[in-house]
Chain A
Amino acid sequence: MIVASMLVLAVGTYLLRLSGPLLRTRVSFPPSAERLLDVAAVVLLTALVAVTALTEGGGPADAARPAGVLVGGVLAWRKASFMVAVLAAAATTAVLRLI
């Protein structure tokens, strides 16, 4: 089931990639539709961040995880390097769980 779903995702993604070059010469895509697709992706991914940072199986996550995500998020917002932000998040959460 998991492998079949993964293959559906792979084939579907390939078709999405292929359709642009195929359509390119034939139709014009309204810019507002492009913007809406962009915004939809950001909405989906922001929701993913919120749900994975704050919840665990439908209930709230332990406080250590949101704290780590907050540290990593602030670092990333202040343009720290990607690796620093991610490692700082993990370190913060790990230390809080030790205490």
Chain B
Amino acid sequence: MCLAVGVTSVSYGAVSVASGLPFWFPVVMGTLVLAGSSEFLFVGIVGAGGSPVAGALAGLLVNARHLPYGLALPDVLGRGWRRALGVHVMNDESVVFALTRKENAARSYWTSGIGVLVCWPLGALLGAALGSTVSDPNAFGLDAMFPVVILALILPSLRDRVARRPALLGAVIALVCAPLLPTGLPLLASLAALAAVPLLGGLGTSPSASADASPSADARPSAGPSAGTSGDAESERGRA
């Protein structure tokens, strides 16, 4: 896991300096924010000439998921300064470890949390060093790395149908807005897709409820607003 975090952070550091940010910036932001996707978003918006304020707002929106994370987290943080540090190392990985290894939740949480705290800024430093030695990063296709990094990180969520439909709609909205709005705003405009969630089959009762939407699940009593999984799939094709 630390290797994946390391590779991601190297590309994050390289992308940051390729966007014209100073080499220390991804390292400092990596340490202080410590939430990869929001940092990528910030760097992506600023690097494309957007406002840093829009970058911070978009980053905070992405990081809003830490609120439910904290609510779901078992009591692993401890007290005093430990608690203050423990809150900071709350991330996708450490929360997943704490939730899935119940018998050793605190140890799993702290190991992965501290691991990311060390790996992420170090990798960013390495990436920044590599990136700043290259005069034209685009010649090496580094600009194609960034979308793939984010795509790979969100693929597990995109396999979930409930999230996939609004996500694809949001991507279309952002692309349509891209020539019309200043950088950063098309991304925020994509959130308008959330308003269509009830039309797209609702949120489902749980992630697993949508994951088992195979033809064999037709007999399952429908709990959502749609008339059953097969009808749902047909209406999806109808829209496409």
Contact = CB atoms under 8 A, between A and B. Distances in A.
A55 B178 contact: yes
A68 B207 CA distance: 31
A90 to B, nearest CB: 4
Contact of B87 (A21, A39, A57): A21
A90 B33 contact: no
B116 to A, nearest CB: 13
A54 B175 contact: yes
Contacts of B193: 43
B144 A29 contact: no
B179 A39 contact: no
A34 B73 CA distance: 13
A46 B77 contact: no
Nearest to B154: A45
Contacts of A6: 25, 28-29, 32-33, 42, 52, 56
A37 B187 contact: no
Main secondary structure of the interface of B (DSSP, over half): helix
Main secondary structure of the interface of A (DSSP, over half): helix
Interface in A56-89: 57-59, 61, 64-65, 68-69, 72-73, 76-77, 82-83, 85-86, 89
Given A2-B21, A45-B62, A37 B68 contact: yes
B7 A83 contact: yes
Given A6-B25, A21-B87, A50 B174 contact: yes
Given A43-B194, A48-B40, A82-B4, A77 B155 contact: yes
A89 B197 contact: no
A45 to B, nearest CB: 5
B60 A13 contact: yes
B60 A93 contact: no
A51 B178 contact: yes
A13 B59 contact: yes
Contacts of A93: 141, 143-144
B124 interface: no
B141 A89 contact: yes
A14 B38 CA distance: 13
Interface in A22-37: 22-24, 29, 31-37
Contacts of A1: 52-53
A7 B203 CA distance: 33
Top 9 A-B residue pairs of the complex, sorted by shortest distance between their CB atoms: A20-B70, A93-B141, A68-B144, A72-B148, A47-B190, A5-B52, A47-B174, A94-B141, A90-B141
21 contacts: A2-B21, A4-B52, A5-B42, A5-B55, A13-B60, A16-B64, A17-B66, A22-B70, A33-B68, A36-B194, A36-B203, A38-B65, A39-B194, A46-B154, A46-B167, A47-B186, A53-B144, A76-B151, A83-B7, A89-B147, A93-B144
Given A47-B190, A72-B144, A89-B141, 15 more contacts: A1-B52, A6-B29, A6-B32, A20-B72, A39-B162, A40-B64, A43-B167, A47-B186, A48-B147, A52-B143, A57-B183, A69-B147, A72-B151, A72-B152, A93-B144
